[in-house]
A and B are shown apart, each in its own frame.
Chain A
Amino acid sequence: MAEKISLKKLLARKDIRELIVQFEAVSAGGYEIYPDEERGEQPGQGTSLYPCFPVKIYEQTLGWVAGEARGASFLTALLTFFAKEEYEKKALGRETLERYKEINVLYEIAAKLAATLDTADVARLVLAETQRIICSDFIQVMILNEKTGQLDISAASAADKSKSGRFFIDMGIAQQVAFSGRAEIIDSVATDPRLSHRSQTGSLLYAPLKNQDRVIGVIGLSSHIPAKYTSGDLKLLSAIALHAALAIENAKLYEQLREDFINTVRSLAEAIEKRDPYTGDHTRRVMEYSLAIGARLNLSPGQLKKLEMAAVLHDIGKIGVRDSILLKPDRLTDDEFAEIKRHAGLGGEILRHIKPLADILPGIKQHHERFDGKGYPEQLAGEDIHLLARIIAVADAFDAMLTDRPYRKGLPFEKALQELTANAGTQFDPQVVEAFMQVQAEQTEAMRRKEGLL
């Protein structure tokens, strides 16, 4: 008996009340109706002089009708009819609500998954949403490792954390589901021959994560109650699995794309290193200084990522500078210097075809601009110069000052710092210099402390 029907509520309905009044008018007389939700018992002897008829649906007694036999039995039939109708309506309502909740969850899953581009996040999200609609003690999302052919556990969670050790998702069966690509319900862990080594009881539900017939993972649910899962649950889990598989595939592709992209950037950076070994180490140091400054200036993780790429690529334009100038051991003539100055703009030209790098191009093109507007190539000034470029300019100049050149010796560390301060506001953005000074002061402090300890 899933639905509770109240005779009292039925009698409160206007249409039913009127019917009873009309019936009483045309029949012999009055009838007593005893809505009895709690006891379900026949009213005691003496309550009524007339025979009692039970209003019953599906073995549930809702109450009694007493009165002249023929009329009372008719009234009983009428009320039973309404009660049944009410019961069916309620059952339908409950069923509709359940389906509706499922649709709602699927809708939410789809929307959330569409915005998720990280495999682990997808797995966690699928787990959390599944927990909301399918009753389980334990859920596990497993992703097929393409290299090993095995399922790796990507996310797992118990409904009741304190009991998490008591439930399991059998990996052997998960592998079978991954292999067959078919969802599976195991009604009884205790009697399944594949699980005879387990001491637990309960039931399991598995669905493959499939993309166009290719299995990329499995989701598994476990319950301590035997025969817990229905074909409805299986269908629902399969629907979730469909969304999940798509999202995981997307996330994987996105991750691959990002990796490829970062590797492309690395290759580009290496190309210039191979031509001019000085640039190689210089690039690495400029990147490190830049990131330290960026962190000090509280750049977001996304901005820091861009800063890193811009710093790595800031001298890429040197690829376009002739070897006779690029690798010249002596001081450059004015003409040669004019030639080497082109590298900033060249860097921008080389990279302009790569859309994801569009944001960082100014950081490369403008890294030789000066805060006072006397730099190159466009004589930008102040905040018209991109922040990335203002940071790289300080890091670049500082490293260049420290480095020995065949035609001059590098400056001592302290002297180079003084040079930066002296040129803050003219060549450099004073705020960036300030940030760099703070970073250096911190590092010196840390070094001293370390030495003091030794």
Chain B
Amino acid sequence: MSKVLIVDDEPHLRLLLQQALEELEDEGVELLLACDGEEALEQIQTEDPNLVFLDVMMPKQNGFEVCNTVKKVWNQQDTYIIMLTAKGQEFDKQKGMQVGADIYMTKPFDPDLVIQKAREVLGLA
């Protein structure tokens, strides 16, 4: 069974992503939530999600640090990481590349694009 982890410190954005991805639950995908970097790493370790939506700006550990730990320290290349960044705050693409993020999306994100990308990554039609 596929798992998707949503990491964002803002409750409404977690809710939003959860809602955007809701239809996946009917296809057996489990949605997991984390509200900061530490919790995200915990969940990635214990639940091993296939796909992570990772906010960049977060307290404790930011998205770059989390991504770096997963991709570079643990060398978990199978964990697909989508970085989320707010529009206006220019995403540091180079840094994203360095820490091994797969792609990034800007907020406000297009909900249709979110579900489309998730389906693609999880191999669901």
Contacts and interface: CB of A to CB of B under 8 A. Distances in A.
A192 to B, nearest CB: 35
Interface string B1-28: 0000000000010011011101001000
B102 interface: no
A104 B87 CA distance: 11
A107 B12 contact: no
Nearest to B25: A9
A97 B20 contact: yes
Q: Is the interface of B mostly helix, strand, loop or mixed?
A: helix
Interface string A103-145: 1100100000000000000000000000000000000000000
B111 A92 contact: no
Contact of A103 (B19, B20, B22, B108): B108
Interface string B79-92: 00000000100000
A104 B19 contact: no
Contact of B108 (A9, A90, A92, A104): A104
Interface in B94-109: 108-109
A94 B19 CA distance: 6
Q: Is the interface of A mostly helix, strand, loop or mixed?
A: helix
Contacts of B109: 104
Nearest to A111: B87
Interface in A61-113: 89-90, 92-94, 96-97, 100-101, 103-104, 107
Nearest to B18: A93
A93 B18 CA distance: 8
B80 to A, nearest CB: 22
Contacts of A90: 19
Contacts of B18: 93
A97 B110 contact: no
B15 A92 contact: yes
Given A90-B19, A97-B16, A101-B111, 16 more contacts: A89-B15, A92-B15, A93-B19, A93-B22, A94-B19, A96-B12, A96-B15, A96-B19, A97-B20, A97-B111, A100-B16, A100-B111, A103-B108, A104-B110, A104-B111, A107-B108
Closest 4 CB pairs of A and B: A93-B19, A97-B19, A93-B15, A104-B108
6 contacts: A92-B15, A93-B19, A93-B22, A100-B108, A104-B108, A107-B87
Interface of A: 9, 89-90, 92-94, 96-97, 100-101, 103-104, 107
